[in-house]
Amino acid sequence: MCDPVTLSITMAGLAAAQAGTQVMQEKEQQKMQIKAQENQAKAEIINYNFDQKNLENEMISNRDATENEFFESTIKNAEMRSTLASQASETGITGNTLAASDQALNALFGRESNVADRNYDILAQSGQSRSDAGYNSLTSTLNGLSGSVSGPGVLDSTLKIAAAGVGGYASGQSMSKNK
């Protein structure tokens, strides 16, 4: 059989090796968790960018629709002015009556422009709110991911292996005394 010192050293070595293997497995698990979090963070950023691009396209579409509304209203106003001018010329209307009709057209055109502007402003504010909410959600998710993986530190690992070695040595001493 083995002498007590050799047995104790062998037991200490086996226990330390087993503890070292466990520490390595914990470290590997920690790396896998960190990699999974990195992948999740990348996916969240991609989704955020996709949502922001869709929102941007929607805002451009809303702006274009508002500009088209304004353009159509301008053309309609010009046509109405032209019609008013030709009818006034044909009927001999001048002075205050023509001015009042012109003012009525200006008021109508102004209301249409104001409604289009207000609608665009509402859509723009809604888009900005949605953009802000998306950003806040992204930062909250990313903050929740960062730093949440814990694993064995260097000191913990060293102490675990040393304690296992000492325990193994003590077991070897105990076994050799019991013989």
Percent of residues, the chain, with pLDDT higher than 70? 91
Per-residue pLDDT at 1 exceeds 60: no
The more confidently predicted of residues 173 and 127 is: 127
CB-CB contact of 142 with 41 (8 Å): yes
Most confident listed range (70-79, 87-96, 142-151, 158-167): 70-79
Whether 41 shows a pLDDT value over 60: the answer reads: yes
Q: How confident is the model at residue 45 (pLDDT cuts 50, 70, 90)?
A: very high
Q: Among all chains, which residue has been given the structure tokens 């046509």?
A: 79
- As given in the structure block, the two tokens for residue 95 are 């002075």
Task: From residue 15, give the alpha-carbon distance in Å to each of 2, 18, 137, 172, 179.
Answer: 17, 5, 47, 10, 21
- Mean of pLDDT over the chain: 81
Is the pLDDT assigned to residue 176 strictly greater than 70? no
Which of the four pLDDT bands, split at 50, 70 and 90, describes residue 160?
A: confident
* Angstrom distance (rounded) from CA 21 to CA 114: 73
Contact present, 105 and 77 (Cβ < 8 Å): yes
Mean pLDDT of 121-126: 87
Packing angle of the helix pair 4-91, 154-178 (nearest 10 deg): 150
CA-to-CA separations, 144 to 45, 125, 133, 175, in angstroms, rounded: 14, 28, 16, 50
The pLDDT of residue 98:
67
pTM of the model: 0.58
- How high is the pLDDT of residue 149? 65
Q: Looking at the chain, how many residues does it have?
A: 179
- 82-103, pLDDT tens digit by residue? 887 777 778 777 777 767 777 7
